[in-house]
Amino acid sequence: MNEVIQTILGHRSIRRFKNEALTQEETDQIISAAQAASTSSFLQAYSIIGVTDKSKKEEIAELAGNQNYVAENGFFAVFCADFSRHQTAASLHDQDIHKAVESTEGFMVAVIDTALAAQNAAIAAESMGLGICYIGGLRNNLETVSSLLETPSHVLPLFGMVVGRPAEQHEQKPRLPQETVYHENTYNLDSESLKQELKHYDETILHYYRSRSSRSKQITWTSQAASTLSHSKRLYLNAFTKEKGFLNGRP
């Protein structure tokens, strides 16, 4: 198994960091890695906002659900879907692009582009011995995040990423069995075999949560997933994405 695959398979989210900023060289390599990712139609429809201002970091940490590692880390960046610079490009060529940008297809393009870039950044950081954690909690209140970061129309912060020198080490969280996630030629809709796979996986996860060294708890994967999704949250995003120039829902 090569070094790259070892890095990828060794991933675990890190939520406690040494109080030490990344070097300029480290952040440069992380951003270059992000930019090297594939991008739909070469649009590069994302931006990365590094947040170094202490009070901004603290405010976002609070918004994201009092996650103090959002404030205390070596580097914190916000990844945004971004069609703003394409508006400038379009204006240089007298083109009207609002219909494409506001469509579901446009939203998919920008969200996928942003996520591919972010995952490259994550792997690059981990390859340097740094730890990372995605911060979806940013979406608790994108209105305030957008105003703090002064993002214009056609820019939508999607998630943050904290990076730093790990001050904790813990076990890896087992993933769903490969047969649950991977299908061949047709989607396997056999609900009995799915239930069996989930039952075994529930035991694996119950054991993992019970025996892990920190924040141990007693819950299965299916009950956790069902409970997480039974509380629909961030419903304001349906209107907010529209307000920011995405997903107008018109055909």
Residues 145-174 that bind its own copies (CB under 8 A): 149-152, 155, 158-159, 173
Residue 167 CB, nearest approach to its own copies (Å): 19
Q: What is the DSSP string of 17-38?
A: B-S-PPPHHHHHHHHHHHHTS-
* Residues 46 and 79: beta-carbon distance below 8 Å: yes
Interface segment toward its own copies; rule CB under 8 A; list 8-16, 62-70, 162-170, 210-218: 8-16
Residues in the chain: 251
Which of 139, 141, 166, 244 is close enough to bind its own copies by CB under 8 A? Answer: 139
Which of 64, 145, 162, 247 is close enough to bind its own copies by CB under 8 A? Answer: 247
Is residue 222 classed exposed, middle or buried when 0-12, 13-18 and 19+ CB atoms within 10 A define those classes? middle
Residues 70-129 that bind its own copies (CB under 8 A): 80, 83-86, 88-90, 92-93, 95-97, 99-101, 103-106, 108-109, 111-112, 115-116, 118-120, 122-124, 126-128
Residues 10-29 that bind its own copies (CB under 8 A): 10-11, 13, 28-29
Residue 61 CB, nearest approach to its own copies (Å): 15
Residue 7 CB, nearest approach to its own copies (Å): 5
Q: How many residues bind its own copies (CB under 8 A)?
A: 123
Residue 244's CB: how many other CB atoms inside 10 A? 23
Is residue 156 classed exposed, middle or buried when 0-12, 13-18 and 19+ CB atoms within 10 A define those classes? buried
Which of 15, 17, 22, 33 is close enough to bind its own copies by CB under 8 A? Answer: 33
User: What are the C-alpha distances in Å from 226 to residues 202, 221, 223, 231, 232?
Assistant: 12, 8, 5, 9, 11
Measured distance CA(140)–CA(142) in Å, rounded: 6
Residue 108 CB, nearest approach to its own copies (Å): 6
Residue 157 CB, nearest approach to its own copies (Å): 10
DSSP annotation of 213 reads S
181 three-state secondary structure: helix
213 sits near its own copies (criterion: CB under 8 A): no
Measured distance CA(128)–CA(30) in Å, rounded: 10
204 sits near its own copies (criterion: CB under 8 A): no
Residue 237 CB, nearest approach to its own copies (Å): 4
Beta bridge partners of 46: 81
Which of 69, 131, 183, 207 is close enough to bind its own copies by CB under 8 A? Answer: 183
